[in-house]
């Protein structure tokens, strides 16, 4: 793999509107050189230009810079959205800088801060729902965070950026559809059992039981009297009489 010249790398960064960040060129160059050392067959089919764009993207994340324009990155790389996301994930692993993409990271990238809290609640409930049935599940996979945000947006009446969330999930459209169906089933079950409530009300299991109060007559008004307990002797006599009547009825048949 040929290393993209710093001048050309600077031009790419300029096109992305990131020239104000002086550390970006050396960090991107560092990642490209490291990638050359670790280059294996899995990245052989990816063009040098696309690798450089992805390394700029990764450098931004490592330096804690504001997220790049995802559409601009995909356009400059010459890849399709799904291919870009998959190759970015591959290079992360090759460079040993793989980061867990969670709800917070996706919210920052897509500007969905208003759905973050709801998505977190949904994901925590989903973990409990699926954990007992399927055993150990790798919830660090971005598909769960992406789907939780998608469902949170729908519940909050926010139009979810579905195509972008699918890209974050690293799932093919068919697998996303299967996951969405699984979530629909989970949400339907949660709704029936009142596990999830709107923000205005608490989950049933979190509500405190109503405290018992002793009714006190006010100004002579009538109030409900406590339930009377039948004396044991009366109950025993009544049960014996009932049993005797049933036995006699059976004998007469």
Residue whose structure tokens are 């909050």: 156
Q: What is the pLDDT of residue 204?
A: 34
Same domain, 70 and 112: no
Is there a contact between 54 and 77 (Cβ–Cβ < 8 Å)? yes
Which of 15, 168, 200, 194 is CA-nearest to residue 82? Answer: 168
Q: Which two tokens stand for residue 186?
A: 């989970």
CATH number, domain with residue 17: 1.10.472.10
Domain end point (choices 99, 131, 154): 99
As a whole number, mean pLDDT of residues 75-82 equals: 90
Q: Give CA–CA dist 3/85, Å, rounded.
A: 22
Is there a contact between 186 and 126 (Cβ–Cβ < 8 Å)? yes
Domain-located, residue 185: yes
User: Which of 87-91, 95-99, 148-152 has the lowest average pLDDT?
Assistant: 95-99
Q: Give CA–CA dist 78/67, Å, rounded.
A: 19
* Average pLDDT for the chain: 76
Same domain, 74 and 22: yes
Domain end point (choices 183, 201, 219): 201
Same domain, 116 and 186: yes
Q: Give CA–CA dist 162/166, Å, rounded.
A: 6
Domain count, the chain: 2
Q: What is the pLDDT of residue 41?
A: 52
Across 18-22, 26-30, 166-170, the highest mean pLDDT is recorded for 26-30
Is there a contact between 130 and 137 (Cβ–Cβ < 8 Å)? yes
Same domain, 51 and 73: yes
Q: What is the pLDDT of residue 210?
A: 39
Q: Give CA–CA dist 81/38, Å, rounded.
A: 25
What is the reported pTM?
0.49
Domain-located, residue 74: yes
Provide DSSP, 46-86. S-HHHHHHHHHHHHHHHTTPPPP-HHHHHHHHT--HHHHHH
Q: Where are the alpha helices (DSSP H) in the chain?
A: 6-15, 24-38, 48-62, 70-77, 81-94, 103-110, 116-134, 142-155, 162-169, 173-192, 232-252
Residue whose structure tokens are 């055993």: 135
Across 110-114, 136-140, 188-192, 233-237, the highest mean pLDDT is recorded for 110-114
User: Which of 84-88, 120-124, 219-223, 244-248 has the lowest average pLDDT?
Assistant: 219-223
218-235: pLDDT as tens digits: 344 444 444 455 666 666
Write out the residue range of the structural domain in which residue 11 sits.
6-99
More confident residue, 54 or 226: 54
């Amino acid at each position: 793999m040929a290393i993209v010249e710093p001048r050309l790398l600077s031009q790419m960064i300029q096109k992305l509107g990131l020239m104000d960040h002086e550390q970006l060129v050396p960090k991107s160059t560092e990642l490209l050189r490291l990638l050359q050392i670790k280059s294996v067959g899995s990245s052989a089919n990816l063009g040098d230009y696309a690798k450089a764009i992805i390394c700029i993207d990764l450098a931004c994340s490592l330096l804690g810079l504001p997220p790049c324009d995802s559409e601009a990155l995909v356009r400059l790389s010459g890849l399709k959205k799904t291919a870009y996301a998959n190759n970015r994930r591959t290079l992360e692993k090759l460079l040993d800088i793989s980061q867990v993409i969670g709800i917070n990271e996706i919210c920052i990238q897509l500007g969905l801060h208003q759905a973050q809290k709801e998505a977190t609640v949904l994901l925590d409930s989903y973990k409990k729902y699926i954990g007992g049935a399927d055993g150990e599940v790798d919830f660090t996979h971005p598909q769960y965070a992406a789907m939780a945000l998608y469902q949170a947006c729908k519940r909050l009446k926010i139009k979810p950026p579905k195509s972008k969330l699918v890209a974050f999930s690293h799932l093919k459209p068919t697998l996303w559809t299967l996951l969405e169906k699984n979530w629909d089933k989970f949400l339907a079950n949660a709704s029936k059992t009142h596990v999830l409530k709107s923000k205005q009300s608490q989950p049933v299991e979190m509500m405190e039981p109503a405290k018992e109060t002793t009714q006190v007559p006010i100004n002579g008004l009538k109030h409900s009297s406590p339930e009377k307990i039948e004396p044991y002797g009366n109950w025993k006599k009544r049960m014996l009489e009932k049993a005797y009547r049933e036995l006699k009825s059976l004998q007469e048949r």
